[in-house]
Amino acid sequence: MKFFIDTANLEQIQEAYDLGVLDGVTTNPSLMAKEGIKGTQNQREHYIKICEIVNGDVSAEVIATDYEGMIREGEELAALNPHIVVKVPCIADGIKAIKHFTEKGIRTNCTLVFSVGQALLAAKAGATYVSPFVGRLDDICEDGVRLVGDIVRMYRTYDYKTQVLAASIRNTKHIIECVEVGADVATCPLSAIKGLLNHPLTDSGLKKFLEDYKKVNG
Ligand code: E4P
């Protein structure tokens, strides 16, 4: 499984990269706003900074919601750096835009996906990634991880090459559950990735090893 970090914060991206397990980054307009990145030029410079840290895919989301606007913006974003994956919302014009980008060899991430039907359209349009939002479904008492598994099975049945990118991951348990249902990628907050390390038996085992070493070695 690939790990992406779900943030536009450069320090967190660097920390995840330094851990040696980072495969990419996802951003969205809310995450960019959280970092105070205002204006098209600043946003584009920020995407380039992210691409310079990470040797992997960096999702940059279009703001336009009409076909022509998405094409224009997506092509500009893709031209910034070869790592850029154009993130497009799962709406009718978005599916048309994904088809266009696929034909032009521009990689895409179909975002805001909440059903198997939406994931089917994204795959038929040739999306590189599809992003089912796990946490937001859980927030409304639906089962986000089950949707991830349903999409994985549907893609395997029909041999679609679109990768299932579990998004809106809120915690470490979500990551493990997405592993169990076969997600290709999970995009996670840094805290959820670091949470994978935690186990009390690791801590107590290491403490005992060091105590025993000191007993004989001083
Ligand atoms: C990433 O691609 C998504 O935009 C992101 O995971 C959404 O997460 P949220 O539901 O926590 O905002």
Q: How far is the CA of 204 from the centre of ligand 1 (A)?
A: 35
**Per-position DSSP letters for 154-175, written without gaps between them:** HHHHHT---EEEEBS--SHHHH
Give the pLDDT mean for 46-50: 98
Q: 111: Cβ below 6 Å to ligand 1?
A: yes
- Indicate if the pLDDT at residue 218 is higher than 90: no
Q: How far is the CA of 212 from the centre of ligand 1 (A)?
A: 46
User: What is the pLDDT at residue 29?
Assistant: 97
Q: Where are the domains of the chain?
A: 2-217
pLDDT, tens digit, for every residue of 133-186? 999 999 999 999 999 999 999 999 999 999 999 999 999 999 999 999 999 999
Q: Which atom of ligand 1 lies nearest, measured to the CA of 87? A: 2
Q: 99: Cβ below 6 Å to ligand 1?
A: no
The reply to whether 38 belongs to the active site is no
- Indicate if the pLDDT at residue 37 is higher than 90: yes
Catalytic residue among 49, 87, 173, 215: 87
pLDDT, tens digit, for every residue of 64-84? 999 999 999 999 999 999 999
Dihedral pair phi/psi, residue 201, rounded to 5°: -70, -30
User: What is the pLDDT at residue 183?
Assistant: 98
Among the CATH numbers 3.90.25.10, 3.90.1150.10, 3.20.20.70, 3.20.20.10, which is that of 2-217?
Answer: 3.20.20.70
Q: Is 28 exposed, middle or buried (0-12, 13-18, 19+ CB in 10 A)?
A: buried
Q: How far is the CA of 133 from the centre of ligand 1 (A)?
A: 7
Write down the mean pLDDT value for the chain: 97
